Copies of this chain bind each other. A is one copy, B any other.
Amino acid sequence: MEYDEDARWDKPATLSTYLTHKDISEASSGSLIGSPDSKRYDSPVLKLIGESKQKHYRKVCMPLTTEKWKERWSKMCLLPSESSEEDKELAAKTAEKWRLNPAFERGEVTITRLDEAEGIIVMISDWLELDAADDWVRHDAEIALKQELAYAAYLNVHTAILPAPRNRDHVASYARMVNSCLTKYPYICLSIRLPIYNPSAFHPTSPTPVSPFPDSSISSSAGTPSLIISESEGTAHSSRGSVNATWEMWDLIRSMCEYNIKLTLTLDLSPALPTTLGVLSKWAAESVRHIYLPASTFIANAKGYPVLPKPTQQFIRDSMIHRPTIILAGVSEGQHSKGGEVAYSQYVRHLEKTSPAVMTLRKEGTVENFAQGYQDYLQAPLQPLMDNLPSITYQTFEQDPVKYMQYEEAMYRAFLDHPKDQKIVVCVAGAGRGPLVARCFKALARSQRKATVIAVEKNPNALVTLQERHAKEWSSHDFHLVFGDMRLVDVPEKADILVSELLGSFGDNELSPECLDGAMRFLKPSGISIPSSYTAHLAPLSSSKLYNEARSTKQEKSMETPYVVMFQAVNILSGTKATADGRCGPQVQECWEFEHPRRDALVNDQGLPFTNSHNARSAKLRFYIPHAGILHGLAGYFEAVLYGNIGLSIHPHRKDQVSKDMLSWFPLFFPFKEPLYLPSNSELQVSIWRLTSDRQVWYEWHAESFITIPSRASVSEELTGQSLSPSFSGNSSFSSMASPLIDPKELAYLDVNRLSIPDNDGGEYDTVKIGHTSLHNPGGRSSWIGL
Chain A interface (Cβ < 8 Å from any Cβ of B) = 89, 92-93, 96-97, 99-100, 135, 138-139, 168-170, 172-173, 175-176, 179-180, 183-184, 201-202, 210, 212-215, 241-245, 247-248, 252, 255-258, 274, 276, 278-279, 575, 577-581, 583-584, 600, 602, 609-611, 613, 616-618, 620, 624, 626-628, 674, 676-677, 679-681, 683, 685, 687, 689, 700, 702, 704-705, 707-710, 716, 719-720, 722, 724-725, 727, 733-734, 737, 739-746, 748-761, 763, 765, 767-772, 774-775, 778-779
Query: What is the distance, in angstroms, from A715's C-beta to the closest C-beta of chain B?
Result: 11
- A741's partner among B215, B685, B708, B740 (CB-CB below 8 A) is B708
- A626's partner among B579, B749, B775 (CB-CB below 8 A) is B749
Q: How far is the CA of A755 from the CA of B628 in the complex (A)?
A: 12
Are A740 and B176 within 8 A (Cβ)? Answer: no
Q: A213-B757, A214-B755, A242-B754 are in contact. List 15 more A-B contacts (CB 8 A).
A: A92-B600, A96-B610, A247-B753, A575-B746, A577-B745, A579-B743, A580-B742, A583-B741, A627-B752, A628-B769, A674-B674, A677-B769, A677-B770, A680-B752, A708-B741
Instruction: Tell me the nearest residue of chain B to A780, going by C-beta.
Output: B180
Q: Which residues of B contact A775 (CB under 8 A)?
A: 172, 175-176, 179, 256-258
21 contacts between A and B (CB under 8 A): A183-B779, A212-B727, A212-B756, A212-B757, A241-B755, A242-B751, A242-B752, A256-B774, A279-B752, A579-B742, A579-B743, A580-B743, A583-B740, A626-B743, A628-B752, A679-B753, A680-B751, A681-B742, A707-B709, A710-B739, A733-B737
Q: Which residues of B contact A779 (CB under 8 A)?
A: 179-180, 183-184
Are A681 and B172 within 8 A (Cβ)? Answer: no
Query: What is the distance, in angstroms, from A222's C-beta to the closest C-beta of chain B?
Result: 11
Q: How far is the CA of A759 from the CA of B609 in the complex (A)?
A: 65
Q: Which residues of B contact A756 (CB under 8 A)?
A: 212, 242
Q: Which residues of B contact A617 (CB under 8 A)?
A: 135
- A720's partner among B255, B274, B704 (CB-CB below 8 A) is B274
Q: How far is the CA of A445 from the CA of B769 in the complex (A)?
A: 64
Are B740 and A274 within 8 A (Cβ)? Answer: no
Q: Which residues of B contact A248 (CB under 8 A)?
A: 753, 769
Q: Which residues of B contact A97 (CB under 8 A)?
A: 610
Instruction: Tell me the nearest residue of chain B to A215, going by C-beta.
Output: B757
Query: What is the distance, in angstroms, from A750's C-beta to the closest C-beta of chain B?
Result: 6
Count identical subunits in the complex: 2
Q: Which residues of B contact A679 (CB under 8 A)?
A: 707, 753, 768-770
Query: What is the distance, in angstroms, from A556's C-beta to the closest C-beta of chain B?
Result: 15
Are A702 and B577 within 8 A (Cβ)? Answer: no
Are A774 and B242 within 8 A (Cβ)? Answer: no
Are B245 and A753 within 8 A (Cβ)? Answer: yes
Q: Which residues of B contact A179 (CB under 8 A)?
A: 775, 778-779
Q: How far is the CA of A756 from the CA of B754 in the complex (A)?
A: 23
Instruction: Tell me the nearest residue of chain B to A712, going by C-beta.
Output: B681
Q: How far is the CA of A279 from the CA of B750 in the complex (A)?
A: 10
Q: How far is the CA of A677 from the CA of B536 in the complex (A)?
A: 31
Q: Which residues of B contact A737 (CB under 8 A)?
A: 710, 733, 763
Are A707 and B759 within 8 A (Cβ)? Answer: no
Are A258 and B627 within 8 A (Cβ)? Answer: no
Are B741 and A624 within 8 A (Cβ)? Answer: yes
Q: How far is the CA of A746 from the CA of B578 in the complex (A)?
A: 11
Are A755 and B252 within 8 A (Cβ)? Answer: no
Q: Which residues of B contact A753 (CB under 8 A)?
A: 242, 244-245, 247-248, 627-628, 679-680
Are B749 and A276 within 8 A (Cβ)? Answer: yes
Q: How far is the CA of A722 from the CA of B390 in the complex (A)?
A: 64
Instruction: Tell me the nearest residue of chain B to A252, going by C-beta.
Output: B772
Query: What is the distance, in angstroms, from A145's C-beta to the closest C-beta of chain B?
Result: 14
Instruction: Tell me the nearest residue of chain B to A628, going by C-beta.
Output: B753
Task: Using known A-B contacts A242-B751, A679-B753, A689-B173, determine if residue A584 contacts B769 with beta carbons closer than 8 Å.
Answer: no
Q: How far is the CA of A761 from the CA of B779 in the complex (A)?
A: 53
Query: What is the distance, in angstroms, from A77's C-beta to the closest C-beta of chain B?
Result: 11
Are B683 and A710 within 8 A (Cβ)? Answer: no
Q: Which residues of B contact A616 (CB under 8 A)?
A: 139
Are B210 and A725 within 8 A (Cβ)? Answer: yes
Query: What is the distance, in angstroms, from A202's C-beta to the closest C-beta of chain B?
Result: 5
Q: How far is the CA of A247 from the CA of B754 in the complex (A)?
A: 12
Query: What is the distance, in angstroms, from A90's C-beta to the closest C-beta of chain B?
Result: 11
Are A744 and B680 within 8 A (Cβ)? Answer: no
Are B580 and A750 within 8 A (Cβ)? Answer: no
Are A708 and B763 within 8 A (Cβ)? Answer: no
Q: How far is the CA of A741 from the CA of B578 in the complex (A)?
A: 9
Q: How far is the CA of A256 from the CA of B702 in the complex (A)?
A: 8
Q: Which residues of B contact A683 (CB under 8 A)?
A: 741
Instruction: Tell me the nearest residue of chain B to A733, going by C-beta.
Output: B733
Are B752 and A577 within 8 A (Cβ)? Answer: no
Q: Which residues of B contact A707 (CB under 8 A)?
A: 679, 707, 709, 768, 770
Are A96 and B768 within 8 A (Cβ)? Answer: no
Q: How far is the CA of A542 from the CA of B544 in the complex (A)?
A: 30
Q: Which residues of B contact A778 (CB under 8 A)?
A: 176, 179-180, 183, 256
Q: Which residues of B contact A755 (CB under 8 A)?
A: 168, 213-214, 241-242, 245
Are A276 and B748 within 8 A (Cβ)? Answer: yes
Task: Using known A-B contacts A753-B628, A774-B255, determine if residue A740 contacts B579 with beta carbons closer than 8 Å.
Answer: yes
Are A681 and B741 within 8 A (Cβ)? Answer: yes
Q: Which residues of B contact A748 (CB under 8 A)?
A: 276
Q: Which residues of B contact A213 (CB under 8 A)?
A: 755, 757
Task: Using known A-B contacts A679-B768, A752-B243, A779-B183, determine if residue A172 contacts B579 with beta carbons closer than 8 Å.
Answer: no
Task: Using known A-B contacts A707-B707, A769-B628, determine if residue A700 contacts B242 with beta carbons closer than 8 Å.
Answer: no
Query: What is the distance, in angstroms, from A130's C-beta to the closest C-beta of chain B?
Result: 12
Task: Using known A-B contacts A577-B743, A749-B276, determine if residue A212 contacts B758 with beta carbons closer than 8 Å.
Answer: yes
Are A620 and B172 within 8 A (Cβ)? Answer: yes
Query: What is the distance, in angstroms, from A721's C-beta to the closest C-beta of chain B?
Result: 10
- A176's partner among B93, B247, B689 (CB-CB below 8 A) is B689
Q: Which residues of B contact A624 (CB under 8 A)?
A: 741, 743, 746
Q: How far is the CA of A97 from the CA of B603 in the complex (A)?
A: 11
Are B173 and A744 within 8 A (Cβ)? Answer: no
Interface centre among A172, A700, A758, A778, by most chain B C-beta atoms within 10 angstroms, is A172
Query: What is the distance, in angstroms, from A672's C-beta to the closest C-beta of chain B?
Result: 12
Sorted nearest first, the 9 A-B pairs with minimum C-beta distance are A740-B759, A581-B740, A680-B753, A628-B753, A244-B753, A96-B610, A172-B687, A244-B752, A256-B775
Are B276 and A719 within 8 A (Cβ)? Answer: yes
Are B769 and A740 within 8 A (Cβ)? Answer: no
Are B245 and A774 within 8 A (Cβ)? Answer: no
